[in-house]
Amino acid sequence: MAHTKTVTRVSTQVGIVGAGPAGLLLAHLLHLRGIESVVLEARSRDYVENRLRAGVLEQGTADLLTATGLGERMRRQGLVHDGIFLRFAGRSHRIDFRELTGKAILVYGQHEVVRDLVAARLAYGGPLRFDVDGVRVEGLTSHRPTIRFRDASREEVELTCDFIAGCDGFHGVCRPSIPPSAIHFFEREFPFAWLGILAEAPPSSTELVYAHHERGFALLSMRSPTVSRLYLQCAPNEDLGDWSDDRIWSELRTRLATRDGFALKDGPILQRGITPMRGFVAEPMRFGRLFLAGDAAHIVPPTGAKGLNLAVADVQWLAEALGAFFRSGDETLLEQYSARCLQRVWKAERFSSWMTAMLHRVTGQSDYDYRVQLAELDYIASSKSAQATLAENYVGLPFS
């Protein structure tokens, strides 16, 4: 006799696919509004909590985390930066965010944000399932869409929801579940990448340094008073095996050098990897009762430090819209969600693309274009108005 496969059927108000910062923060914001959710994640908890990503929080992001009870460890360990340095032609020029905008940024690793969110989720007992497999989203235009998956014990589960939030990243299952005729993609691949390292070395600067050099871009960042994060522009198909520790440090010293003898502090390299540079936007960010948020809907080149912050803006607005619906049945904000998010997304794409074009060398670049880059940098260094434009975008445009 054939055995019938047992399926466990459960329901919730909002099914959230993806336990990155977008999915976890959305779950937290919904919890504060008394809205139930279930968070599903294909990876393990250890992987999610230790996956290194960007660590620059806009003023609005840091304020939101604090206001929603997630800021205790961030306030203790995060590094407040009141500006950044632009470095070109052997000289550094500081952009004073505090003076220009009254705001600052906070350096606090994305994996640390995720750890805080996981801890908060578990503290109030919100359903959070890691190591799920075979996720499928179905019935997206019905009033009760479904998420089917196998849990960590490989049991088949059918989760029925009022809404589904696709927070499962660029390679997730939610966006591809939208019919091709219902969504448009805007993409740009940049002809270079970043070779990034995490090093056990004290930061060589009190604030981030964005360096333009004839050999290519370099970025000096940090994770803590004892750990540095540094990047080098490289080819997209770069072989990490060709980059020894000595070669990496030598190239960083060359590109970050100044005429007044800047000294780069080095140390053991803990991690290294290649980060591709791309821009991507999916429009609209909604199909039926599926809402996309974060990297599932958009990718920005990392030069402007906008990825995590865009995800935070998305889910803040989505939580507000879902809150209005569950309070009164009003779908106005849900209908406005995509357009509202995309207005901010495209401004972030513009800013990130501008920063990228200004700071990176392109293979075959003409002397003319190189001189234009230097002129652009010199204009920013000498103009308070130009600095104010950069600062306003970097610290973060208002969420509302």
In this predicted model, what pLDDT tens digit does every residue of 172-210 receive, in sequence order?
999 999 999 999 999 999 999 999 999 999 999 999 999
Catalytic residue among 210, 231, 301, 337: 210
Catalytic residue among 213, 306, 337, 360: 306
Percent of the chain with pLDDT over 90: 94
pLDDT tens digits along 109-166: 999 999 999 999 999 999 999 999 999 999 999 999 999 999 988 899 999 999 999 9
Work out the pLDDT band at 53, boundaries 50, 70, 90. confident
> Are 212 and 358 spatial neighbours (Cβ–Cβ below 8 Å)?
yes
Distant-in-sequence, close-in-space partners of 372: CB < 8 Å, separation ≥ 6: none
pLDDT of residue 201: 96
pLDDT of residue 4: 55
Say if residue 387's pLDDT is above 80: yes
Mean pLDDT for the stretch of residues 79-90: 96
Check if 268 is active-site.
Answer: no
Residue ranges of domains in the chain, CATH in brackets: 7-80+104-187+278-355 (3.50.50.60), 190-277+361-395 (3.30.9.10)
Catalytic residue among 28, 302, 337, 360: 302
Check if 306 is active-site.
Answer: yes
Mean pLDDT for the stretch of residues 346-368: 95
pLDDT tens digits along 225-243: 999 999 999 999 999 999 9
Check if 302 is active-site.
Answer: yes
pLDDT tens digits along 25-44: 999 999 999 999 999 999 99
Q: How far apart are CA 347 and CA 214, in angstroms?
A: 28
Token pair listed for 314 = 């998305």
Token pair listed for 74 = 């961030």
> Are 88 and 211 spatial neighbours (Cβ–Cβ below 8 Å)?
yes
Work out the pLDDT band at 1, boundaries 50, 70, 90. very low
Mean pLDDT for the stretch of residues 71-81: 95
Work out the pLDDT band at 322, boundaries 50, 70, 90. very high
Mean pLDDT for the stretch of residues 95-112: 96
Token pair listed for 270 = 């803990």
Tally helices (H) and strands (E) across the chain. 11, 21
Check if 394 is active-site.
Answer: yes
This prediction has a pTM of 0.95
Q: How far apart are CA 55 and CA 280, in angstroms?
A: 20
CA 75 to chain CA centroid, Å, is 20
pLDDT tens digits along 281-311: 999 999 999 999 999 999 999 999 999 999 9
Mean pLDDT for the stretch of residues 89-110: 96
Check if 212 is active-site.
Answer: no
Mean pLDDT for the stretch of residues 251-274: 95
Catalytic residue among 28, 31, 81, 103: 81
Say if residue 12's pLDDT is above 70: yes
Helix (H) or strand (E) holding 254: helix 245-256
Backbone torsion region of residue 73, taken as left when φ is above 0, otherwise alpha when ψ lies between -120 and 50, otherwise beta: alpha
Say if residue 2's pLDDT is above 80: no
